[in-house]
Amino acid sequence: MAQIEFSEEQNMLLETAGEFCKNHASIELVRASIDSDAGVKPEIWKEIADLGWLGIIVPEDFGGLGLGLSDVVPVVESMGRYLMSSPYCATIMATQAIVSSADSDQKGRWLPKLVDGDVATVALTEVDGSWNLDEVACEAQEDDDNIRLSGVKCFVQDLAMANWVVVSAVMNGSTRLMVLDMSSVSEDHYSREVVIDETRRSYRLNLDGLILPKENLLPGSDFQSLESAALLMLCAEISGGLMGVLPVIVEYLNTRKAFDRLIGSYQALKHPTVDILMSLEGARSYLYHASTLFSQGKFPEFQSAVRMAKAQGSEAFAFAGDRAVQFHGGFGFTYECDAQLFLRRALWCQYQFGDERYHRQWLAGALFD
């Protein structure tokens, strides 16, 4: 029988993160930060570090809390609910790469800095947009005691704020992970991309000519753990986004009148709203079921569960965002309407690391072949 467990630590994190994001990520603040290269103010990022959220998956030996990805879920879900823009997910992805693929000396060098508030990100996506992380076109060549990079990465999140970035590249015929110090990268090597979700800071990174020391080459290359982390956090963002967009819909339905009646009284609007509520319950169930399996170490079952969560959540959030815009009528298609921010976030999440068709195809092969 499918189980869903919710630990005391997760409950505490959900309450704390919910209150924190409510206070620091109002819709006005989200809008005001859209054009900024920094998704969050330095003092807010320091608070996040002081709360210990950056060290959730970092082992205690390196200054972290020694918990797991399942304990990151409540934090990301809360951020998704309020559309909070921060380099948190990007930093957790980089942290996961170090935890799963670095040696002890490398962990000792980077993990304590992450816990203290260093910003990091990952450069995994090629310009062809492949969702298979093993399909890498960028190259790395040995050059004495250094490694010389070439190629282009896209969808690199929060790069302008990052202290360093974990890059994937082909080296000696195999795909490897390595850490690039951003202090050695000039601004002409990267540019901000125009993406559907304006609350995101997405960059294209040109690796041509960039050099890093061999000691920054990670001995492991655990792409599966990176994909698992990305999918679990995306599902958490989707669940949070559904929690955030539903009140936007309900408030408008209980405010706007047509023919002297609140438009929320019409069945044509009530029924889809109920569908959104039910899809939210489904998304959270899928999410925390996958989270439970991960915390129990049942990784084969987790792989199926998290892909089910991504497929269901992607459709549900996109539908909710679309209905939110449509229900607002002509105003919904204007930039001033908050509903469009949630639709943009939904479309971003839908196509990151595989849409619903991609994951259902994976599930069909895994479960039925």
| Alpha helices, H only, 193-338 | 223-253, 267-295, 299-327
CATH architecture of 223-368: Up-down Bundle (1.20)
pLDDT at 136 over 50: yes
pLDDT in tens, 284-325: 999 999 999 999 999 999 999 999 999 999 999 999 999 999
* Region label for 214, one of left (φ > 0), alpha (ψ between -120 and 50) or beta (otherwise): alpha
Q: What count of residues does the chain have?
A: 369
Q: How far apart are alpha carbons 229 and 89 in whole angstroms?
A: 9
pLDDT bucket at 1, cuts 50 / 70 / 90: very low
Give the model's pLDDT for residue 37. 83
318/144: higher pLDDT: 318
Q: Boundaries of CATH 1.20.140.10 in the chain?
A: 223-368
**The model scores a pTM over 0.85:** yes
Q: Boundaries of CATH 1.10.540.10 in the chain?
A: 8-117
- pLDDT mean over 14-27: 95
User: Tokens 């029924």 identify what position?
Assistant: 271
Q: Boundaries of CATH 2.40.110.10 in the chain?
A: 121-216
pLDDT in tens, 212-265: 999 999 999 999 999 999 999 999 999 999 999 999 999 999 999 989 999 999
- Longest Cα–Cα distance of the chain, Å, equals 78
CATH architecture of 8-117: Orthogonal Bundle (1.10)
Sign of CA dihedral 32, 37, 43, 45: positive
pLDDT in tens, 179-220: 999 999 999 999 999 999 999 999 999 999 999 999 999 999
Give the model's pLDDT for residue 2. 63
CATH number among 2.40.110.10, 1.20.120.1690, 1.10.3720.10, 2.70.170.10, domain 121-216:
2.40.110.10
CA-to-CA separations, 114 to 87, 91, 100, 299, in angstroms, rounded: 12, 8, 15, 26
Exposure b/e, 56-87, CB count within 10 A at least 16 = b = bbbeeebbbbebebbbbbbbbbbbbbbbbbbb
